[in-house]
Amino acid sequence: MRIELEKRAERSAVMAWASPLVAVAATFVTGAIIFAAIGIPPLKGLYVFFFEPLSSLWSLEELVVKATPLILIGVGLSVAYRANVWNIGAEGQLTAGALAGAFVPIFYNSWQSPATLVAMLALGVLGGMVWALIPALLKIRTGANEILVSLMLVYVSQLLLDWLVRGPWRDPHGYNFPKSVSFEGWQTIPTIGDGRLNLGIVVALAVAVGLAVLMRHTLKGFEVRVLGEAPRAGRFAGFSSDRMTLFVFLLSGGLAGLAGIVEVASTVGQLQPNISPGYGFTAIIVAFLGRLDPIGVVVAALMLAVSYLGGEAAQVALGISDKAARVFQGVLLFWVLACDTLILYRLRIVRGAPAAEGV
């Protein structure tokens, strides 16, 4: 007896939606096994990790705060990946956006008007775009692999941030801590209510809806999908894959930059060596779990935000490393990609080969 993969005639609409659910279920099972292996009761572990974060209003607000950058970056990446362009460096573009946006409060510290915030957000987008332009142009001009270039630029931008906050951009009144000045008033994003929830989520949702319309109902979205699915057919349609590479890098880089400035202008409140717990990388999982569809990305971002909160809760309640969150995210990505096979193939159990007995 063996299991065979059999190609379906068309992609299965049912599995396209069921596959992420199967992947999440498989992640729970894998998680339970991991918990059991390190001596934690599996059900307790899963409860602390995945369900406790959903049990209070405070943690639900925190969920949305964590999901905001994941949505912003994830929707941009989902468009890029649809076009078969692999921007892996969103974390670097996030950092570049945060640096560019922070230019305003650091050098024009007394400027306080709504325009201040607009300028910061615009510069954040621009910073992400500039950082994304580097792998895009290198790919177009020299054929350099965008995965490697964009990934390596992550470390460049993080070291640049590190140097700036320890050196020239350090707060002169900050007791030599590696931090910039704190952002105040219109240098931060207005909050909703009195918690950490802020208007960033509104921006993120608006962007997601906008990109959903772009992908589903416009010629530009059509162009993205054609070039991603069949580049030769895209050229036949008169679309340019070079221009598409540029477009999706600017889009996804700009949105990662926006996520960066939104993050430092809200929850972080200043520049410091660590401004993101790997949102740019987690957003890659978000994009795939969300079926590379902007609306799906919103749902997926909320799910991945749970794993961040669960990681923090597990540190406290179970005494395990905060790297546990990364493990769960990795396991989830693995299962998502594996389950996606079932969209184009079906499993079939074969009992013996009829012709084999003649030998």
> Which of 82, 170, 225, 291: binder of another protein (CB under 8 A)?
225
**CB-nearer residue toward another protein: 108 or 236:** 236
**CB-nearer residue toward another protein: 26 or 337:** 337
If we measure between CA atoms, which residue out of 320, 298, 336 comes closest to residue 48?
A: 320
CB-based contacts of 232, cutoff 8 Å, min separation 6? none
The verdict on 217 binding another protein (CB under 8 A) reads yes
For residues 71 and 208, is the Cβ–Cβ distance under 8 A? yes
The verdict on 36 binding another protein (CB under 8 A) reads no
User: Candidates 158-166, 307-315, 331-339, 347-355 — which segment interacts with another protein by CB under 8 A?
Assistant: 347-355
> Which of 28, 47, 222, 345: binder of another protein (CB under 8 A)?
222
Binding residues with another protein: total (CB under 8 A): 26
Least Å distance, CB 229 to another protein, is 5
Site for another protein in 4-23 (CB under 8 A): 6, 9-11
Rounded (10°) CA dihedral 335, 337, 339, 342: -170
Degrees (nearest 5) of the Cα angle 119, 249, 86?
140
For residues 241 and 231, is the Cβ–Cβ distance under 8 A? yes
Least Å distance, CB 8 to another protein, is 9
**CB-nearer residue toward another protein: 177 or 236:** 236
**CB-nearer residue toward another protein: 168 or 358:** 358
The verdict on 2 binding another protein (CB under 8 A) reads no
- 3 secondary structure, DSSP code: E
> Which of 153, 226, 292, 339: binder of another protein (CB under 8 A)?
226
Question: What HEC string does 147-175 produce?
Answer: HHHHHHHHHHHHHHHHHHHHCCCCCCCCC
The verdict on 243 binding another protein (CB under 8 A) reads no
Least Å distance, CB 149 to another protein, is 24
**CB-nearer residue toward another protein: 173 or 232:** 232
Distance (Å, whole) CA 279 – CA 294:
17
Using CB atoms within 10 Å of the CB of residue 199, give its burial: 0 to 12 exposed, 13 to 18 middle, 19+ buried: middle
> Which of 4, 184, 229, 322: binder of another protein (CB under 8 A)?
229
Using CB atoms within 10 Å of the CB of residue 353, give its burial: 0 to 12 exposed, 13 to 18 middle, 19+ buried: exposed
For residues 16 and 285, is the Cβ–Cβ distance under 8 A? no
User: Candidates 146-154, 188-196, 198-206, 228-236 — which segment interacts with another protein by CB under 8 A?
Assistant: 228-236
Q: List helix spans (H) across 230-358.
A: 231-236, 241-263, 279-289, 294-317, 323-344
The verdict on 33 binding another protein (CB under 8 A) reads no
Provide DSSP, 34-98.
Answer: HHHHTTS-HHHHHIIIIIGGGSSHHHHHHHHHHHHHHHHHHHHHHHHHHTT-----HHHHHHHHH
The verdict on 219 binding another protein (CB under 8 A) reads yes
Least Å distance, CB 1 to another protein, is 15
**CB-nearer residue toward another protein: 202 or 233:** 233
The verdict on 143 binding another protein (CB under 8 A) reads no
Least Å distance, CB 209 to another protein, is 15
If we measure between CA atoms, which residue out of 128, 135, 136, 88 comes closest to residue 284?
A: 88
Distance (Å, whole) CA 95 – CA 260:
6
**CB-nearer residue toward another protein: 316 or 353:** 353
> Which of 230, 242, 323, 338: binder of another protein (CB under 8 A)?
230
User: Candidates 28-36, 91-99, 150-158, 225-233 — which segment interacts with another protein by CB under 8 A?
Assistant: 225-233
Provide DSSP, 184-210.
Answer: -GGGSPPBSTTSS-BTHHHHHHHHHHH
Interaction site with another protein (CB under 8 A): 6, 9-11, 217-220, 222, 225-226, 229-230, 232-233, 235-238, 353-359
